[in-house]
Amino acid sequence: MRIITKYLLRKFIRNFVIVLISLQIFFVGIDFLQNFDEVPNSANLQLLYILYNSFFTLTLTLPLSLVFGWIITIVIMVKTNEMVASFSLGVGNRQIFMPVVNVSIILIVLLIGFQMTPLAYSYEYKEKILKNTYFTSSKSDIFVKYNDYFVYFKKLYPLQKYAEDIHIYKVVDDDIEEGIVAKKAYFQNNRWYVLDARITKKPKVIDWNNSKIEIHHEKFLYTLEGFKPKILDSVYESTSSFSILDAITALTLLNDQEVNTSKIRASLYYEIVAPLYFVPLIILIFSYTSFNSRFFNIGKFTSFSIAATLVIWGVFFMLHKFSSGGVINPEISILLPIFLWYIITYILIKKQIGYK
């Protein structure tokens, strides 16, 4: 690694960390003060609330901090004539912005990796703490279709992976063949274990003289393999989020169930694709920087760069909300704008600094 690259990255990472910590303290602190009366008195729950809120805020502040940190770095280097000195030593444009882009992509990939963990549900957990339902979260009267089964849960406890008053009906060719009724069921080893089940089977061929309904009881049986309670909860709850792994699993399970998966796809695209909006933005800001400090209007450049960053981030966030609510197809509201954004910025960057 060249000395200029080390020097540039050291300045950028320092500015990025300062901006990130400042934004985190601001957003988390404001939220905690606003909800102080609703947060439980328990110190453990208060700490958990701050932890969950910090990670949820991180998904918003990390991309912004990368761009803001880059803006600060550019302003300082131009103002102190370090940018001109770098070009005088034969440093090219790419040697300045590409190390920053590479480090930023690595940080975003780490953030996406965290979205594969239970921390992806941080917003839900902090809301449960506010509502005093962190340990007793439940959903009522859930009725869903899974393969050949129609499933009804009187009560579902997603965090505990437990359900009460379960009714499972196997339907083949629009005909109910089997019904399972039980008081309790647990999700373990990727399947549902039903306790004290009453199984009712209807004969396939109805013969009024010989046909009869079979009823027997099982102390223990398993069914609905792969039907995760968190997926049930997220599909049922319109404001729920998904981790990346759960979103992929939900898509795999529900694609053949004639269930609308737009919310799942929107969550998946937003967590993986949308954070990459900052990559061309970093290069675009660099390409429109005046490297001569004498003609560099710091106030105008900084204000315009920050405002443009917030507007672009706001547009993608708004489109995500539209797609999550089913207003717009997620492929049109998230993937297409990202694709167009990359094309537009590529044209602008190529025109400005000949980037290829």
Evaluate whether 229 touches 156 at the Cβ level (below 8 Å).
Answer: yes
Place of tokens 């969550």: 267
Of the candidate ranges 18-27, 66-75, 343-352, the one whose mean pLDDT is the lowest = 343-352
In percent, the amount of the chain with pLDDT more than 70 equals 84
- DSSP conformation letters of 188-208: ETTEEEEEEEEEEE--SS--T
Give the pLDDT band of residue 214 (cuts 50, 70, 90): confident
pLDDT for 162 equals: 75
pLDDT at 356 over 80: no
Higher pLDDT, 6 or 223: 6
Mean pLDDT within 298-323: 87
State the Cα–Cα distance between residues 308 and 306, nearest whole angstrom: 5
| Number of neighbouring beta carbons within 10 Å of residue 50 | 17
In percent, the amount of the chain with pLDDT more than 90 equals 16
State the Cα–Cα distance between residues 4 and 314, nearest whole angstrom: 34
Please tell me the pTM assigned to this model.
0.76
Evaluate whether 336 touches 323 at the Cβ level (below 8 Å).
Answer: no
State the Cα–Cα distance between residues 201 and 215, nearest whole angstrom: 6
State the Cα–Cα distance between residues 63 and 107, nearest whole angstrom: 9
Bridge partners for 65 per DSSP = none
Question: CA separation (Å) from 271 to 44, 46, 180, 218, 239?
Answer: 29, 27, 38, 43, 15
pLDDT digits (tens, 9 = 90+) for 253-284: 666 656 667 777 887 888 888 888 888 899 89
Of the candidate ranges 33-37, 102-106, 133-137, 268-272, the one whose mean pLDDT is the lowest = 133-137
Mean pLDDT within 303-317: 89
Mean pLDDT within 209-238: 67
Place of tokens 């005088």: 88
